[in-house]
């Protein structure tokens, strides 16, 4: 089921494939090592700290602060129709980092390092196959499974539309 994750997916098989099923149901999950308790986001099955093979899923809030970001004008294969789009890296409150698109709830003029954001589960509804991802949104933003797309953003993920207003350097 990890093939669901991302608009373009390069890794359909992984020991943490359940992540995508949780995401489809609206949950952002980190991993926690059953032996030493080390947490990881992105999740990993095999502990980097103690090399134990057992882990548990742990739901996280997804809240974090923006560490850095860029608006990509020159897009690679599969992402041309979204360009320009903004990707950001957030330091998550519950540990770890995530890289994701900045979504439609964040006006491009307001993007600033240090701002509080929330990683929000998303479903791309405009394609037949299941495609899940997460985007960085204003804290408190939620999407139900059915209402994944924001108002007026049916053509592309909100990230793309949000980034279309070219950011000032």
Binding residues for other proteins, rule: CB under 8 A, are 5-11, 14, 41-42, 67-79, 82-85, 87, 89, 96-101, 113-114, 133, 166-167, 169
Q: Which residues of 83-103 are buried (b: 16+ CB within 10 A; e: fewer)?
A: ebbbbbbbebeeebebebbbb
Q: Which of 16, 30, 33, 136 binds Zn ion (CB under 5 A)?
A: 33
Q: Which does 11 bind (CB under 5 to 8 A by kind): Zn ion, other proteins, none?
A: other proteins
The sign of the CA dihedral 9, 43, 102, 147 is positive
Q: Where does this chain touch Zn ion (CB under 5 A) — which range of 16-24, 41-49, 85-93, 110-118? A: 41-49
Q: Position of tokens 């980190």?
A: 30
Q: Is 1 or 38 the residue whose CB approaches Zn ion more closely?
A: 38
Query: Footprint of Zn ion on residues 52-81 (CB under 5 A)?
Result: 52
Residue 49 near Zn ion by CB under 5 A:
yes
Q: Which does 127 bind (CB under 5 to 8 A by kind): other proteins, Zn ion, none?
A: none
Residues in contact with 119: Cβ distance below 8 Å, sequence separation at least 6, in sequence order = 28, 62, 63, 64, 90, 92, 98, 100, 134, 135, 136, 137
């Amino acid at each position: 089921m990890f093939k669901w994750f991302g608009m373009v997916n390069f890794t359909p098989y992984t020991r943490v494939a359940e992540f995508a099923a949780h995401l489809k149901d609206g949950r952002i999950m980190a991993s926690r090592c059953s032996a030493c308790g080390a947490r990881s986001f992105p999740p990993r099955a095999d502990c980097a700290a103690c090399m134990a093979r057992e882990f548990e899923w742990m739901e996280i809030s997804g809240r974090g602060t923006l560490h850095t970001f860029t608006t990509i004008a020159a897009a690679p294969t599969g992402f041309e129709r979204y360009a320009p789009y903004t990707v950001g890296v957030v330091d998550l409150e519950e540990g770890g980092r995530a890289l994701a698109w900045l979504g439609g709830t964040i006006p491009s003029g307001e993007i600033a390092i240090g701002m509080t954001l929330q990683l929000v589960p998303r479903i791309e509804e405009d394609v037949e196959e299941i495609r899940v991802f997460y985007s960085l949104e204003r804290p408190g933003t939620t999407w139900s499974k059915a209402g994944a797309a924001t108002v007026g953003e049916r053509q592309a993920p909100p990230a793309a539309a949000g980034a279309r207003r070219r950011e000032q350097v």
